[in-house]
Amino acid sequence: MGYKSLDKLFYSDKENYEKIYNERYKSEYAVHLDFLIHDNPAFFVMIPEFITKIRDIYKTDKQIKALRDSLPEKAIDHFAIRCLVDEIVKTNDIEGVYSSRREINSVLSELETKSHGKRFMGLVQKYLMLQKNETMSFDTCEDIRNLYNDLVYFEIEEDNPSDLPDGKIFRKDSTSVLSATQKELHRGVNPEEKIIECMNKALAILNDKSIECVFRISIFHYLFGYIHPFYDGNGRTSRFISSYLLSKEFESIIGYRMSYSIKENINDYYKAFKVCNDPKNKGDLTPFIIMFTDIIDDSLHKLVYALEKRLEQLIHYRKCIIFLPKGADEKYSNLYFLLIQASLFSESGISTKELMDVMKLSRSTVTNRLNTLSDYGLIIKKTLGNIRCCSLDIDKIDTIMEEINK
């Protein structure tokens, strides 16, 4: 039998509602938190399911590490960027902010030449930090505001400047989360002094090493939404923090799957917020942690599947190189292998500059070899901003192999 939330028990078992609450709150397995949810002390219960779930999460993370170690570095780089694009599109989509995959890819391609002024530049730069293993601190309210400034300030200023923070650090007026029919679902903490007090408490929980890391990340994600420190940009900011922290605890690529997985489970995500925001739930955050750890676990398992599938394809197509035009020539077989990686792991392909760097060849040499393969009809070309990318036509390889095997 699953863990029944107190807000449900209030209606289904009203006679025992207070008794069950007291049993949970006073249980030796209860973890008490220095935070009030609608005047109820926050807590969660270390249910047996959590032990199994945490063990599974760390086991799956080891699988991802093993897969990562068995793949070429360039393939992982391609796949990380592909997941990064997914993540940014999804985190925007959850908030009703439109961004196309091409738009995000274009920002990525222009990062070296443009550092300011392009839409979503800040969001892309921050998510790239996960791949570069750069560190960030989330110790103070100022840290949260600085992240917000880097992450979403430019877009909010451009789209709706009245939604920018107007307090010393956060917002100074009230704000609410509304349903599609404009019904108030949740009202954020107010005034700003209270927001700052609550955020400091939430940050203390986030940095409390006596609590399992996955639980801390889950709890802080909920508390950030409960506090709702900004008029706009709360979701994107809190999801980035969760992504960053997960990338530090597990394989870094998992940080690029959080919003994607939340979007796939969006109804459960919103329902968990609704349950824990309900005063009848009396500060029990166990339902939210159940939902959030399920999403993390699901995300890791899907990542394993995606990498295993591509590794299998990479092994298969590498064996095909010898049968392709000039495939027996080492000068071309290395190029083929890089182009196959781009086809399987990247969304847009590999640029001439990247090929030059990996193969340590001049632009003219790389271009000549690409032109040779292009003459055989094996190259797919794309343009992103000012960058030209290419990959191998996998369908053409399949056709060639079918002819050979007839």
Pick out the residues of the known binding site for ATP: 232-239, 269-270, 277
| Cα–Cα distance for residue pair 36/248, rounded to 1 Å | 28
Q: How far is CA 367 from CA 94, 320, 330, 353, in A?
A: 41, 23, 16, 10
The residue with tokens 């824990």 is 276
Burial class (CB in 10 A: 0-12, 13-18, 19+), 142: exposed
Kindly report the backbone phi and psi dihedral angles of residue 31, in degrees, each rounded to the nearest multiple of 5, phi listed first: -110, 115
Active site residue 228: yes
Query: With contact defined as beta carbons under 8 Å apart, do 220 and 44 qualify?
Result: no
Of these residues, 32, 78, 221, 228, which one is catalytic? Answer: 228
Q: 3-class SS at 46?
A: coil
| Cα–Cα distance for residue pair 217/220, rounded to 1 Å | 5
Write out the binding residues.
Answer: 232-239, 269-270, 277
Query: With contact defined as beta carbons under 8 Å apart, do 356 and 362 qualify?
Result: yes
Which one-letter DSSP state was computed for residue 279? G
Kindly report the backbone phi and psi dihedral angles of residue 178, in degrees, each rounded to the nearest multiple of 5, phi listed first: -110, 150
Query: With contact defined as beta carbons under 8 Å apart, do 345 and 78 qualify?
Result: yes
Which one-letter DSSP state was computed for residue 383? E
Query: With contact defined as beta carbons under 8 Å apart, do 239 and 90 qualify?
Result: no
Active site members? 228
